């Protein structure tokens, strides 16, 4: 048993001194460990010198208990406590063996081999615990190195952070200055944008006004003509009544003509009134609220207004208007002013395209603009097609961009289709698409949900 104790003490002293570095960290305990090693050597050699094997066996037990107890209780050696505890089973077995030998030598001799087996298991347990402790120490060492490396990295990061804070402060000042400049530029841009949009609306209003002036002339002519006829009929009625014996059949006929003419005057008066209301609705700023509108009637109205607007500028211009509306009345919730601007802009472009082609090809060409509507799956689809000059492929990709126009200077701002695209997509949740073939036709498709 003394040999096992001796080897354990020598090995543990060396292991503890090396693992914990007691020579540098705890010199006092390092000296005690060295003395413990000398004590173990003395106890190992004592039986050979003094010939007291039994007494030295008990000295060994006391020494091992003191050795384990001191190291286990000291805070400085807390990392090897589990290693010290692994020796306790070996000490307990040794003490039990010696006590049994003293009390009953015959019993000890009969079961000595079991005590030896338990000692072997205890020693294996010590070795296993030492191996486990060694792994833990390596893991702790690795963790310490990792922490040192992390601390080093943290120091580098702190230094870098300080540099970055200086750079960020400088950059922030620069960005603040640039922001102030951009705010000023944005204010100017918004002012300019508002002026351009207003200019586009006024241009659209001017075209609409020209169409309305031409369109309203027809019902006014009817009203004036019927008013003159009624004046003549009233004069004839007075003359007939002044006769002593009036012709009652003639009087009734005159009265019927007067009633018919008045109905026609009322009809054409309401027609003129609706045109004026449409002009006022188009000219005023929209409230952004949607209203239920007869889409077919609205599209038909703006098609004629756009046509007569161009005719007001060019008396020689004529075109065929083809309409194919859905047989059912299509009522959709739209913003009338904005939606009307979209239709008017597309019709103006269509009539402009056919007028340009008419100038190029002469009398053999027949300018035509088609308007059709269809209601399908809760979506209104309006198609506006012309057989004008068409749009080249490279131009078609840009026509919805702000300020892009193919018209000569002074005839277009380049905002019409851009605003139309925004009104349909953002204002009505719909789609505005274009299909075209140069020299053949152009088709605009407007799709909006009914509700």
Q: Pick from 158, 448, 435, 213: which is nearest to 331 by CA? A: 448
Residue reference for tokens 């001799």: 109
Inter-helix orientation angle 112-242/88-103, to 10°: 150
- As a whole number of angstroms, the distance between CA 111 and CA 102 comes to 14
Please report the pLDDT score of residue 382 as a whole number: 93
Please report the pLDDT score of residue 409 as a whole number: 45
Using DSSP, state whether 382 is helix, strand or coil.
strand
Ranges under pLDDT 70 in the chain: 1-2, 46-47, 49-56, 108, 115-116, 193-215, 217-218, 244, 271, 274-288, 402-416
Query: Cα 68 from chain centroid?
Result: 67
Inter-helix orientation angle 2-20/27-50, to 10°: 160
- As a whole number of angstroms, the distance between CA 231 and CA 369 comes to 41
Query: Cα 235 from chain centroid?
Result: 78
Which tokens belong to 359?
């100038």
What are the φ and ψ backbone dihedral angles of 442, each rounded to 5 degrees?
Answer: -140, 135
Q: Is 219 exposed, middle or buried (0-12, 13-18, 19+ CB in 10 A)?
A: buried
288: left (phi over 0), alpha (psi -120 to 50) or beta: left
Please report the pLDDT score of residue 35 as a whole number: 84
- Determine how many CB atoms are found less than 10 A away from the CB of residue 73: 11
Using a CB cutoff of 8 Å and minimum separation of 24, what contacts does 353-358 make?
Answer: 353/386, 353/388, 353/389, 353/390, 353/442, 354/319, 354/386, 354/387, 354/388, 355/310, 355/314, 355/317, 355/319, 355/388, 356/388, 356/389, 357/387, 357/388, 357/389, 358/317
Q: Pick from 58, 17, 53: which is nearest to 35 by CA? A: 17
- As a whole number of angstroms, the distance between CA 270 and CA 235 comes to 26
- Strand order across the 441-449 sheet: 320-324, 368-376, 379-386, 441-449, 431-437
- Asked if 303 and 321 touch (Cβ cutoff 8 Å), the reply is yes
Inter-helix orientation angle 248-283/112-242, to 10°: 150
- Separation of first and last alpha carbons in the chain: 99
- As a whole number of angstroms, the distance between CA 84 and CA 67 comes to 9
- As a whole number of angstroms, the distance between CA 96 and CA 310 comes to 123
Please report the pLDDT score of residue 446 as a whole number: 93
Please report the pLDDT score of residue 323 as a whole number: 92
Residue 186's alpha-carbon distances to 59, 167, 182, in angstroms, are: 96, 27, 6
- Asked if 351 and 392 touch (Cβ cutoff 8 Å), the reply is no
- Determine how many CB atoms are found less than 10 A away from the CB of residue 131: 10
- As a whole number of angstroms, the distance between CA 71 and CA 10 comes to 14
Q: pLDDT digit string (tens) for 270-300?
A: 767 766 665 555 454 445 678 888 889 888 8
């Amino acid at each position: 048993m003394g040999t096992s104790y001796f080897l354990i003490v020598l090995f543990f002293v060396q292991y503890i001194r090396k693992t914990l570095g007691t020579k540098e960290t705890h010199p006092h305990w390092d000296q005690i460990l060295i003395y413990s090693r000398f004590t173990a050597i003395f106890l190992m050699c004592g039986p050979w010198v003094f010939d007291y094997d039994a007494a030295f066996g008990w000295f060994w037990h006391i020494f091992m208990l003191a050795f384990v107890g001191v190291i286990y209780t000291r805070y400085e050696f807390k990392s090897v406590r589990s290693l010290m505890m692994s020796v306790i089973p070996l000490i307990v077995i040794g003490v039990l063996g010696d006590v049994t030998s003293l009390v009953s030598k015959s019993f000890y001799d009969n079961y000595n081999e079991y005590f030896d087996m338990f000692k072997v298991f205890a020693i294996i347990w010590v070795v296993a615990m030492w191996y486990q402790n060694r792994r833990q120490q390596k893991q702790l060492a690795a963790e310490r190195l990792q922490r040192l490396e992390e601390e080093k990295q943290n120091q580098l990061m702190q230094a870098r952070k300080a540099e970055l804070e200086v750079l960020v402060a400088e950059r922030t000042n620069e960005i603040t200055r640039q922001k102030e400049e951009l705010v000023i530029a944005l204010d100017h841009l918004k002012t300019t944008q508002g002026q351009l949009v207003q200019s586009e609306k006024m241009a659209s209003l001017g075209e609409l006004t020209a169409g309305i002036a031409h369109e309203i002339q027809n019902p006014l002519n009817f009203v004036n003509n019927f008013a003159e006829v009624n004046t003549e009929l009233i004069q004839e009625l007075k003359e007939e009544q002044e006769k002593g014996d009036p012709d009652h059949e003639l009087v009734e006929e005159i009265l019927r003509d007067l009633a018919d003419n008045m109905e026609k005057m009322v009809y054409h008066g309401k027609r003129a009134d609706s045109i004026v209301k449409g002009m006022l609705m188009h000219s005023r700023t929209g409230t952004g609220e949607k209203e239920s509108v007869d889409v077919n009637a609205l599209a038909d109205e703006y098609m004629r207004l756009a046509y007569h607007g161009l005719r007001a500028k060019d008396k020689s211009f004529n075109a065929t208007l083809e309409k194919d509306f859905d047989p059912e009345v299509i009522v959709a919730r739209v913003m009338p002013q904005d939606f009307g601007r979209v239709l008017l802009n597309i019709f103006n472009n269509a009539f402009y395209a056919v007028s340009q082609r008419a100038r190029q090809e002469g009398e053999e060409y027949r300018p035509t603009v088609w308007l059709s509507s269809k209601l399908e799956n809760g979506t209104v689809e309006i198609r506006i097609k012309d057989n004008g000059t068409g749009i080249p492929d490279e131009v078609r990709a840009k026509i919805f961009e702000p300020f892009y126009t193919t018209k000569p200077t002074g005839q277009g701002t380049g905002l019409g289709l851009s605003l139309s695209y925004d009104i349909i997509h953002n204002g009505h949740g719909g789609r505005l698409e274009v299909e075209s073939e140069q020299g053949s036709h152009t088709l605009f498709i407007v799709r909006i949900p009914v509700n």
